[in-house]
Every structure is written in structure tokens, then in C-alpha cells.
Amino acid sequence: MNGLSFAAVNLSKEEIQMTEVIVLTDQDVENLVTFEETMEVVEKAFADWTLSKSHIFPVVREEIKKHQGIFGIKSGYLEEQEALGFKAGGFWVNNKDKGLTNHQSTMVLFDPATGQPQALVAANFVTKIRTAALGALGLKYLARPDSRVLAVIGAGLQGRNQLEAALKILPGVREIYLYDIYHAGALKLAQDLSHYPQEIKVVTHPEEACRAANVIITAASSYQAIVMAPWIKPGTHINAIGTDTRGKQELDPQIFAMAKVVVDSMDQCLYLGECQHAYDQGIISRDSIHGEIGELITGRKPGRENPLEITIFDTTGVALQDLATAGLAVNRAKEKGVGVRVNFLGK
């Protein structure tokens, strides 16, 4: 962590009454923050959480059966950055038929000192870049730095984002295996990435990809195991990205019996994450999980300790990532005059 700094703003009574709400589009956010900056603020947010300087509030997550959607609210407070707020949104299965992305999210940030709204932020890009940044942190602390073969299971938007982030952290990767249950999707991603210097192989079965890989990224949002324990060789690291709801599953639970397991949030991962199946079956316990990513970042616990360890990073996503990223974007927007200003509460 190199230290982007954040300063709280002290406003007069008159200024508070006339505080403007900044409205940012996804394109605004994309223009305001870089991947490297996002990774840095997300890393700091998890470190601060471990040090009790960031706070996560209870998650709301419900199914909207009428419209085949999952709706959730994640909220929290970053003390140093003075970012208080929530992200609301989720996943709607039928959105592609309407020309929309399946994932939809919006954020609202508030002044922690007054409770007044500060910003309304379209958060689809926030979700994209903060998830990729956290996946990259899992690789930074747990993957072998000499990894040369990467397998991506799930060739959708998140699979692509995770792949691109992985290549920034693991510059030695020479081969990329792609698998998706929709073979055409994997072929399309391979075509889009054909200018990459790595050799890209599209496979029709995940076993070939997993047996070859040093690093496996799962981003398939599946409801049954895709990656099986016998396919995992010593030294492999797995970033489990796609499972964030009860019932979802990408990994054979027996892999957890072979691995050092790190999570983003212990409570969330045991209930909503890839850990849920191994935990429910008694394969792992809360005590057998190595730790949370913030403990690795702060040095309280080690990451990878030898080249033959099998490691898993289970991530469900937490509000800290969203607040750190959106807070950075809003600060930049204030500096650069970007976005639409609305006098929401002023007289």
C-alpha cells in the first residue's frame, strides 16, 4: 500500500445547508479512477477493517421471484476516508433479453457528520473494478509469483475482468485456458483477447484447464460444482469469485480439505460464499479457515508459505470495496468538476 490520502471536509452551517449532491455516471467513474488506484484503496480498506478502522453493516439480500432477480444492500463506513453509504442492486437473469447487463447497482454516499446525502453514483463500473481489484489482492498474497498457466472458468464479464486483473499481478503467465458452459462465450472471449501475447486455449471440459493451471479463477455463477478435487495439483491457487448467494457452487467441497483457505469476510463466506458447502458438510470449520484477507494485508497472518501449498481465496464482496472505490471517484469528481450537481436539501 503506497498511501493515497483522504481528508475530511469541514463545512460551515451555511455550506452544510447548501451542500450539493454529486451525480456520477458509470462513464464518469471509469474516467476518474484507475485499476491500480482501486486496488490500493481496496487493500487499505480491508487493512483498516482488520484494525477496526472500517465498519461493515448487516447485509440485506432477497429474491425478487416475480422478475427472477436477486436484490441486495451492502453498507458500511470508512473512518479515514469519511465514506459512509450503501450499494443497492443485484442480479437479474432476464436483463440480457432487454439489452441490459445482468448486474445492476447504484450507490448513495452520505456525510458521516450530518447524514446529508453527498453523492449518487451509478455503480456497475464500481462493482466491476472493485471485484477485479479484490481478486488481484488474492493473487498478490496467495498465488505463486512464478505462475505460468492461468485457467478461467466462466467467460462472462466478471471472468474477463478477473483475467485482465490477474495478468497485471502475474506477468509471468504464458498460457490461458478458457472454459464456459456456453462454449460460444469462451470462443468470443478468446477472439477478443487474440491480441494478447499469451497463448489462449478454449477447452470443452474444465478438467483439461484445471489440471494444467497454476492459478484457477472461477467466475461462473454456477449452482453445481464445476472444478473437482482430483484435478487440483500441488501449488495451485484458486480465486473463487462467482459464489455469493446461498446455493451457488463452483468448487468440489473436497478441495477445501486440501487447501489453505482465506476469505474476504468470514461470516459472509461461510453463509453465502463458496465455503458454504464445505462448511455445511463439516469439511471445514470456522477455526480451520486460515484467515481473512485483511489479516494477510496487515501481516497478522502469512499468505502463501511454500510453493506446494494449495490455496483458496473465497470472495463474496463487501461494502468496503464499493465505498473505497466510490469515495475515491467522488473526491476526484469534486477536484475536477466532473458530474452533475443537484441542490437536494438546500433552501
| CATH code of the domain covering residue 278 | 3.40.50.720
Same domain, 187 and 305: yes
> For position 19, what pLDDT does the model report?
72
Locate 226 and state its grid cell: 464445476
Give me the mean pLDDT over the 235-242 stretch. 98
Query: Is there a domain that residue 14 lies in?
Result: no
Same domain, 172 and 304: yes
Residue 177 bridge partners (DSSP): 151, 201
Same domain, 186 and 232: yes
Quote the CA–CA distance of 312 and 215 in Å, as a whole number: 10
The enclosing domain of 118 has a CATH number of 3.30.1780.10
Quote the CA–CA distance of 172 and 233 in Å, as a whole number: 19
> For position 11, what pLDDT does the model report?
46
Same domain, 77 and 156: no
The Cβ-side half-sphere exposure at 245, using a 13 Å CA radius, reads 17
Query: Is there a domain that residue 135 lies in?
Result: no
Quote the CA–CA distance of 151 and 278 in Å, as a whole number: 22
> For position 96, what pLDDT does the model report?
82
> Which comes out higher in pLDDT, residue 289 or 1?
289
Check pLDDT > 80 for residue 8: no
Same domain, 220 and 245: yes
Nearest one of 36, 70, 16, 42 to 326, comparing CA atoms: 42
Same domain, 164 and 113: no
* Phi, psi for residue 286 in degrees, rounded to 5: -55, -40
> For position 101, what pLDDT does the model report?
82
Query: Is there a domain that residue 133 lies in?
Result: no
**Mean pLDDT estimate for the chain:** 93
Burial bucket for residue 97 (CB in 10 Å: 0-12, 13-18, 19+): exposed
Q: What residues are annotated to the active site? A: 87
Angle between the 319-336 and 124-142 helix axes, to the nearest 10 degrees? 120
Check pLDDT > 60 for residue 246: yes
Same domain, 258 and 330: no
Check pLDDT > 80 for residue 283: yes
Same domain, 195 and 288: yes
Note the pLDDT tens digit of each residue in 101-131: 888 999 999 999 999 999 999 999 999 999 9
R_g (Cα) of the chain, nearest Å? 20
Check pLDDT > 60 for residue 311: yes
Check pLDDT > 80 for residue 243: yes
> For position 4, what pLDDT does the model report?
59
Query: Is there a domain that residue 233 lies in?
Result: yes
Residue 347: pLDDT band (50, 70, 90) is low
Domain containing 333 equals 20-127+321-343
Check pLDDT > 60 for residue 2: no
470443452: which residue's cell? 204
Quote the CA–CA distance of 284 and 67 in Å, as a whole number: 35
Burial bucket for residue 25 (CB in 10 Å: 0-12, 13-18, 19+): middle
Note the pLDDT tens digit of each residue in 33-49: 999 999 999 999 999 99
Note the pLDDT tens digit of each residue in 174-217: 999 999 999 999 999 999 999 999 999 999 999 999 999 999 99
Angle between the 157-169 and 124-142 helix axes, to the nearest 10 degrees? 40
Same domain, 38 and 83: yes
Query: Is there a domain that residue 162 lies in?
Result: yes
Percentage of the chain surpassing pLDDT 70?
Answer: 94
Same domain, 57 and 178: no
Query: Is there a domain that residue 4 lies in?
Result: no
Query: Is there a domain that residue 12 lies in?
Result: no
> For position 7, what pLDDT does the model report?
45
Locate 117 and state its grid cell: 446525502
Quote the CA–CA distance of 28 and 339 in Å, as a whole number: 7
Query: Is there a domain that residue 149 lies in?
Result: yes
* Phi, psi for residue 215 in degrees, rounded to 5: -130, 130
Domain count of the fold of the chain: 2
Locate 247 and state its grid cell: 446455493
Same domain, 73 and 113: yes
Same domain, 85 and 172: no
Quote the CA–CA distance of 220 and 229 in Å, as a whole number: 17
Note the pLDDT tens digit of each residue in 61-104: 888 999 999 899 999 999 999 999 999 998 898 898 898 888 89
